[in-house]
Amino acid sequence: MTDQRERSLPESSQSRSSRRAFLSASAAVAATPVLGRAAHAAGLRGQHPDHELRSLLREIDPHRIGATVARLAAFGTRHTLSSQDDPERGIGAARDWIHEQFRRYAAESGGRMTVELQSYIQPPASRIPEPTRITNVVATLHGEGDPGRVYVVTGHYDSRASDVMDATSDAPGADDDASGVAAIMEVARVMATRRTEATIVFAAVAGEEQGLYGSDYLARQFKDAGTDVQAMFSNDIVGTGDAHDGTAADPRTVRLFVEGVPTSETPAQATTRQSVGGENDGPSRQLGRFVRDVAENPQTGMKVRVVWRRDRYLRGSDHISFLLRGYPAARFTEPRENFAHEHQDVRVENGVQYGDLVRFCDFWYIARVARVNAAALWSLAQAPGTPKGVVIDTTRLTNDTTLRWQPSTAADLAEYEVVWRETTAPDWQHVLPVGNVTTVTIDLSKDNVFFGVRAVDRAGHRSPVAAPIPG
Ligand SMILES: [Zn+2]
């Protein structure tokens, strides 16, 4: 609630202080856009879904999602060490079924979506007793304007029982994580028929329960190829807003875990952070702010509860594989979990039903989480990329602030916006449109606030914010 008030209340004061800052800005930007101030300031209060996004959100179908969750659970177990060639039971059958569905979606894409089985042999390692083939099922929707800019979304299709090495007992894995796989498959289906500027990769990954093996391989392929992955989301345990434990259901909330200090931080970056702060301005934190801006709206019907930690206590997920490689990444999870329904053999004990069963999932909830993902991915892919090379000038001591950045390559770029906030504020409080420039001086002390820069296209799509580094 605090955040909502923060973002909606200060519009008039924002406009006033924005104009004041603007009017005293350097000659580099003076005399340009005083017009449109109110509309731009409204950008801080969330970005409305464009027409195409509203249309695709309506196509997300809870019945299809329910059928996918039920089908995946019906493979009995999808344990990473289970059978790879039994046509009915085990991870191989699940792999082939997901592959076939992706191929059907791709057939409707006019050649824009391609599908592959990305496979390797994992040598013996923790929770992998013998060489094991691990296969990610990957559908890529190739962008048309800026195909080298990539966004990745995953769910993991492997499952587990109480004993993480038990490859034979039933492990339906409905919530963990058929729900995440069903969500990303449905988003892939509705996006396959549409044109995007950037590339979106939908990956059903394996080996998560054994130690994030599939996503580690996926992230490594991107890193080794020098791929510009600008955001990644793991959907893991997104099956229900009802914990079935007697507490009130919360069916309109999804949690988004975003780390602060980057997992990949170098000693030099740590030194900078220790001197001037920035622990709340890493790229994953900016991604969290972006998701809430574009995905909390009547069309998704969801509140995104951003949690400022990498993951829950004692737990992890596939976003960590991307964080380790320096890619911005975050994890979606349901609002409150029932641990009798995760990582448990299916059984009844003292009248309590254990096990990750389909009946504990809410397909309408999963559909809303899919809509949140779709809103985030579509808004990322249609906007300009996150500004690069953003620097705050520290060559001399001044009481103003000069920012520089590299020009965007977006063909439909309109301009840039500088945002800032009090150092103690969680979210951006002020926005100043500065035109299509690559440097600006603002009459505010860099010592007293945090700044960021984002790019805006002609349709009003805004990129995530990039925080400047001293230079
Ligand atoms: Zn999981």
Residue 85: what residue type? D
* H, E, C per residue of the chain: CHHHHHHHCCHHHHHHHHHHHHHCCCCCCCCCCCCCHHHHHHHHHCCCCCHHHHHHHHHCCHHHHHHHHHHHHCCCECCCCCCCCCCCCCHHHHHHHHHHHHHHHHHCCCCCEEEEEEEEEECCECCECCCEEEEEEEEEECCCCEEEEEEEEEEECCCCCCCCCCCCCCECCHHHHHHHHHHHHHHHHHHCCCCCCEEEEEEEECCHHHHCHHHHHHHHHHHHCCCEEEEEEEECCCCCCCCCCCCCCCCCEEEEECCCCCCCCCHHHHHHHHHHCCCCCCHHHHHHHHHHHHHCCCCCCCEEEEECCCCCCCCCCCHHHHHCCCCCEEEEECCCCCCCCCCCCCEEECCEEECCCHHHCCHHHHHHHHHHHHHHHHHHHHCCCCCCCCEECCCCCCCCEEEECCCCCCCCEEEEEEEEEECCCCCCCEEEEEECCCEEEECCCCCCEEEEEEEEECCCCECCCECCEEC
How much distance in Å is there from the Cα of 286 to the middle of ligand 1?
24
How much distance in Å is there from the Cα of 45 to the middle of ligand 1?
33
How much distance in Å is there from the Cα of 111 to the middle of ligand 1?
32
How much distance in Å is there from the Cα of 430 to the middle of ligand 1?
38
CA atoms of 469 and 471, how far apart (whole Å): 6
Output the pLDDT for position 98. 98
How much distance in Å is there from the Cα of 120 to the middle of ligand 1?
21
Output the pLDDT for position 8. 34
Mark the residues whose beta carbon lies below 5 A from ion ligand 1: 176-177, 236
Note down pLDDT in tens along the chain; length 471 residues.
Answer: 333 333 333 333 444 444 444 434 443 443 333 223 433 444 577 899 999 999 999 999 999 999 999 999 999 999 999 999 999 999 999 999 999 999 999 999 999 999 999 999 999 999 999 999 999 999 999 999 999 999 999 999 999 999 999 999 999 999 999 999 999 999 999 999 999 999 999 999 999 999 999 999 999 999 999 999 999 999 999 999 999 999 999 999 999 999 999 999 999 999 999 999 999 999 999 999 999 999 999 999 999 999 999 999 999 999 999 999 999 999 999 999 999 999 999 999 999 999 999 999 999 999 999 999 999 999 999 999 999 999 999 998 999 999 999 999 999 999 999 999 999 999 999 999 999 999 999 999 999 999 999 999 999 999 999 999 999
How much distance in Å is there from the Cα of 1 to the middle of ligand 1?
29
Residue 196: what residue type? T
How much distance in Å is there from the Cα of 188 to the middle of ligand 1?
20
How much distance in Å is there from the Cα of 156 to the middle of ligand 1?
7
How much distance in Å is there from the Cα of 237 to the middle of ligand 1?
6
CA atoms of 283 and 386, how far apart (whole Å): 10
* 407 contacts 81 by C-beta, under 8 angstroms: no
Contacts of 47 (CB under 8 A, 6+ apart): 293, 294, 379, 460, 461, 462
Alpha-carbon distance values, 427 to 223, 303, 329, 437 (Å): 30, 16, 18, 24
How much distance in Å is there from the Cα of 164 to the middle of ligand 1?
12
Output the pLDDT for position 377. 98
Cβ of 23: how many Cβ atoms within 10 Å?
Answer: 10
* 253 contacts 241 by C-beta, under 8 angstroms: yes
Residue from 62, 50, 8, 41 nearest 299 by CA = 50
How much distance in Å is there from the Cα of 167 to the middle of ligand 1?
16
Return phi, psi of residue 252, to 5°: -115, 20
